[in-house]
Amino acid sequence: MMTRATGILRELVGFQSVVGMPNGGIVEWIADHLRSFGVTAHILPGPEGDRANLFATIGPADRPGYILSGHMDVVPAREAGWDGDPFLLRIEGDRLYGRGTTDMKGFLAAVLAAVPSFLARPLSSPIHLALSYDEEAGCRGVPHLIARLPDLCAPPLGAIIGEPSGMRAILAHKGKAAARVTLTGRSGHSSRPDLGLNAIHAMTEVQQAAVTAAIDLAQGPFETEFEPPYSSLSIGTIGGGQAVNIIPELCSLELETRAISSVDPEALLAPVREAAEALASKGFGVDWQVLSAYPALSLAPSSPLAGLLKDLTGIEPLAAVSYGTEAGLYQRAGVEAIICGPGDIARAHKPNEFILASELAACQSLIEALGRHCRRDA
């Protein structure tokens, strides 16, 4: 027999809500589903116009409550190795296969399956569902939702970000910023370098600045909960040129930083940006584009939210993880945030991504326990 959470997960997996694409289908389905329980969903379109965040409240919105946060987008499923259609939930024993089952439609399904229990008796503190788009593109959607929170609800007590953590609460992750630099020089025949401007040659100065910055960062400062315990910087791609006998007009490079919690990730890119912009004085066109950025998460182990999750999970929170989430953006907006969700992050972004039905059930139980906590003084 299929549980309520599994049935909802099957519906959610069926929407190809791939990052960077319109997401009206999944948003409408979730809004309709909530409406069938008498819960009103606010559909909050982003500036792109064709995709939206979704926010809904169960209980008194004018009182402080808890946000359950998840993203509706998934990474594409073009990688080889899938044994079936990634957008058709496939059940084999306890395993539920499909794109997004772990990251993170499983959490969304568990939350939606818990809604009837929230409604069974009045909540004294509300529970909010905050579902975002384009998280997989560097958390691009959720800032538009967070900006609307003051209109939507009283300042929340905390946000639980349901990224896969094996249902153990996580207090910290690094921040990240990614950027692309493009240099435009002047093309020509390679026999006359004196007449051209070689964009690949010029990019070596940007690379050198990046490598120097990366070496400096490894010297500290340190925060020992992270691996590695320092901020890092890495060039991920470089491209340019057409043929060996043509002076390359264009060269572009993409790099990212991962910052410990006391450091602003975008600030770490500054020396690289300066090196790029200095090339303008040599006649190059310089374009600097920030691709994505989100701050680190750092929640004190003594915070009430950490204490609540310790009680709900029955296990001490984990200090830190290496992947990033929307949690740092909530924290920066003044909302305490913690990560706790079903499944193993190691299964995410891979063929045959799956979640266990037992993991879904455990997540739903925890969320229902949060509901009981929210009516403790009713």
Active site residues: 73, 135
Q: Nearest residue to Zn ion, using CB? A: 103
104, 202, 210, 217: which one binds Zn ion (CB under 5 A): 104
The least distance separating Zn ion from the CB of residue 88, rounded to whole angstroms, comes to 21
Gap between the Cα atoms of 179 and 21, Å rounded: 21
Q: Interface mask (CB under 5 A) for Zn ion, residues 266-295, using x and -?
A: ------------------------------
CA gap 191, 286 in Å, rounded: 25
Residues 204-223 that bind Zn ion (CB under 5 A): none
131 binds Zn ion (CB under 5 A): no
Judged by CB under 5 A, the number of residues near Zn ion is 3
User: Exposed, middle or buried, 28 (CB in 10 Å: 0-12/13-18/19+)?
Assistant: middle
One DSSP character per residue, 34-99 reads HHTTTPPEEEEE-TTSS-EEEEEEES-TTS--EEEEEE--B----STT-SS-TTS-EEETTEEEST
Q: Shortest approach of Zn ion to residue 74 CB, angstroms? A: 8
Q: Is the CB of 135 or the CB of 336 nearer to Zn ion?
A: 135
Q: Which stretch binds Zn ion (CB under 5 A): 51-59, 119-127, 157-165, 176-184?
A: 157-165
CB of 293 to Zn ion, least distance (A): 17
C-beta of 74 vs 210, nearer to Zn ion? 74
Q: How far is the CB of 103 from Zn ion (least distance, A)?
A: 4
CA neighbours within 13 Å on the CB side: how many for 7?
8
**DSSP secondary structure string for all residues of 274-333:** HHHHHGGGGT-EEEEEEEEEE--EE--TTSHHHHHHHHHHTSPPBS-BSS--THHHHHHT
Q: How far apart are CA 249 and CA 183, in angstroms?
A: 8
Q: In this chain, which stretch among 10-18, 26-34, 100-108, 289-297 interacts with Zn ion, using CB under 5 A?
A: 100-108
- Applying CB under 5 A, the span of 107-115, 156-164, 216-224, 300-308 interacting with Zn ion comes to 156-164
Phi, psi for 246 (deg, rounded to 5): -120, 130
Segment near Zn ion (CB under 5 A); pick from 87-95, 99-107, 118-126, 184-192? 99-107
Question: Which residue among 73, 103, 326, 336 contacts Zn ion (CB under 5 A)?
Answer: 103
How distant is the alpha carbon of residue 142 from its chain centre? 9
Min. distance of Cβ 23 from Zn ion in angstroms? Answer: 15
Cβ atoms within 10 Å, residue 151: 9
Q: Please give the residue ranges that form the binding site for Zn ion (CB under 5 A).
A: 103-104, 163
